[in-house]
Amino acid sequence: MGTNIEISKIEVADILNNYSGEFIEKNNLSYQQIKAIKAIESCRTSDLGYHKLVCNKCGHEQISYNSCRNRHCPKCQLTKQMKWIDKLKAQVLPVRYFHIVFTLPHQLNALAYINQSTVYNILFRAASQTLKQVALNPKFLGAEPAFLAVLHTWGQTLSYHPHLHIIVSAGGLDPDGLEWKYSGKKFFVPVRALSKVFRAKFIDMLEKEYSQSTLKIPNTTKEVDYSDFGKVKSLLYSKTWNVYAKKTFKGAGKVIEYLGRYTHRVAISNSRILSLDNGKVKLRYKDYRDNNKWKILELSALEFIRRFVQHILPNNFYKIRYFGLLACKNRAGKLTICFGWLKANISISKFEGLIWHEIIEMATGRDVSICPVCKKGRLINPELLIQNSE
């Protein structure tokens, strides 16, 4: 199929619309993967219906096609992201934060991909228990921190790369709840020690799943015999697991805005796709091993789709989770106590109760409801015009 689309308009949906039929026919996909593909293809097209807006001054009518609202769609995340950022800003403690990344070794990729819910849940549990355990240790911080974790499964080239981005408060509430204990500028535990505890916890949890025969076992490769957990365990213990601690953030607002880039991000944004030409896709990616230089990667359309669908999460799987002082059970008690010790107040989200165009106007200063014809009226639901006339 020879397809040429202008660079400025290329989207994931264009690639799927042209090649997903062939890809689905050749591959055994899950219900969630097919559902996401069809949703992205139909997003903001007549397939999903439309809603009509009318100017309350000049009567100009504007048709807007409905969004798919699928969490893997590159076009449906902006207002969700802004609302999440603003709500969390109102709840986080006004202290410094660390950014920690927990990554699974690539030897687990095949096992993780066919057992996504199980392995991803283990990843969350192992990382959160590790952080809480080392933070409560009197040799390190001796307090319970506030932290949240976001799951990502991709690298810059859409490779399969499961890892957690975690934001941890630089300090915590002491076990008696009598004071807020500040940590230094460096992370309160050596990363190597953190890595070893994380590795041990993850392997122990994975071993329990093996013993209960709850896992699907992938085919043996030259590197890993997944059918023999003893061999898997020995291999995993022989590897240094990657836990990376990034610099601290000076304020809660900055850390949440930074994290917002990760929370509602999909595997690839439309802006990174450069062209679709005769079954070939060109995309931009940042090479972290080469001084963060931007480079260009060319893939066949079918390979692009294969890589993209790897990152479609299981149905009802929560990729953002809250722990420590930010856990739901602690927000009304321990978190409130911490705000008191820090002489700060929990505020209310300014986006609470607003609809999408009101959020965009407040965030950007641009009123997208202004009529493009008369420039004076507002585009509103025509039913409201009828009600007002009555």
* R_g over Cα of the chain: 24
Q: Residue 240: is it exposed, middle or buried by C-beta count within 10 angstroms (0-12/13-18/19+)? A: exposed
Spell out the domains of the chain, with CATH numbers in brackets.
4-71+376-389 (no CATH), 78-267+310-341 (3.40.1310)
pLDDT, averaged across the chain: 87
Question: Which of 269, 136, 118, 289 is closest to 207 using CA atoms?
Answer: 118
Report the predicted TM-score, pTM, of the whole model to 2 decimal places.
0.88
Residues of the chain with pLDDT under 50: 1-2, 4-8, 385-390
Tokens of 361: 């106007």
Question: Which of 81, 107, 44 is closest to 262 using CA atoms?
Answer: 81
Angle at 274 between CA 271 and CA 277, to 5 degrees: 140
Q: Kindly report, residue by residue over 268-283, the tens digit of the pLDDT.
A: 989 899 999 999 999 9
Q: Kindly report, residue by residue over 166-205, the tens digit of the pLDDT.
A: 989 999 999 988 899 988 888 888 888 899 999 999 999 9
